[in-house]
Amino acid sequence: MKETICAVIAAGALATVTMADTLRDGNWWVKQSHATKVAYILGALDHAAGHAALADRFNVRAQTTLSSGQVEQVCRRLDMLYGTTKQPTNRTLQVQSALPLVLIWIAGGPGATLESAMQKMREESASR
């Protein structure tokens, strides 16, 4: 019985460590090399385009981003979103959750802020 309890506790601890190793949030993002960031974004956009629920909303943007070579811009915007070490306010957001926000931000145009892009999207949605 004692061995069973120890095994369950050990398995739980291992699962927690494994989950922490795979957490892809802002803290993880800022530690990655540029090549890793680009590869992650390419994979994430490819994955998002393959899901029917996201395809209607983000497929066009994902295809445009990939075809126009704006993956670098997505990486830069994520860098901006996660901020510097002096301002890590958004670092708890998972990259997969932040990616749609960044795509909306990019769709807002060259001078757009994240807030202005979100406002524009809300206005467009309300007018439909």
Q: Write the CA distances from 75 to 7, 58, 128, integer angstroms.
A: 42, 17, 31
**What is the arithmetic mean of pLDDT over 71-100?**
86
Give the pLDDT of residue 37.
94
How big is the chain by its Cα radius of gyration, in Å?
Answer: 18
Q: What is the pLDDT of residues 11-48, one digit of tens each?
A: 554 444 444 557 899 999 999 999 999 999 988 877 76
Give the pLDDT of residue 57.
57
Task: Please check the confidence at residue 7 and state whether its pLDDT lies above 70.
Answer: no
DSSP state of 78: H
Tell me what percent of the residues of the chain surpass a pLDDT of 70.
63
**What is the arithmetic mean of pLDDT over 65-81?**
79
Record the tokens describing residue 105, joined without a space: 């931000």
**What is the arithmetic mean of pLDDT over 76-84?**
88
- What is the DSSP track for 17-66? HHHHHH--BHHHHHHS-HHHHHHHHHHHHHHHHH-HHHHHHHHHHHHHHH
| Residue owning tokens 């927690």 | 16
Task: Please check the confidence at residue 78 and state whether its pLDDT lies above 90.
Answer: yes
